[in-house]
Structure 1
């Protein structure tokens, strides 16, 4: 009777790691408690992310099914605008020119205007 009353945490953990993660018993026995904890947490995060994606897909499909006639189709993964390479290259070029002529004092002004302290690089502080 005492055998039935004992804690089955080892067996419960073994079952979880074998069924959900796909580890063998030998691999499971090699894991430390800390590693098991991190694997459980990552599995939970993956489950939540997958569930959220499924929910979003179902809601999107339902919205598209029930949309009014002539209304635009709602994309599940809307396309994002790509960064304007030419604009970014020009901005970097302008900043480098400004730093060459006026120095990097503008960085201090940006921090000051935002009420922030300038970070001290590691090794100097």
Structure 2
């Protein structure tokens, strides 16, 4: 895949990128600022189209996929955290609306955040 930003079409952000991810695999895109990590995700989610090359899932071009359905099937953790103006409990529960208190506490533990959260003043995990 090749891609240049519409704002700077003469400067390639990605050049001859080839990436294969196996079914069920969890990956992380890691690199320095400006290396193209966010661009890869933007292309995968079809916020932009590559200048050349093809992005495919199960040998099917993503241009043949319904954009809304495609985006629902891909999980992205952005480089900027997003917190909603509500409790920590509700922010964690956002990922699973019917989560129990025990599941929310376990999620906090798995994220290595539970001890930090419990040290905050006025913390109430519902």
Assess same fold via TM > 0.5: no
TM-score under structure 2 length normalisation: 0.22
Larger helix percent = 1
- Rg larger in structure: 1
**Which structure exhibits the higher relative contact order, with contacts defined as CA atoms closer than 8 Å and separated by 6 or more residues?**
2
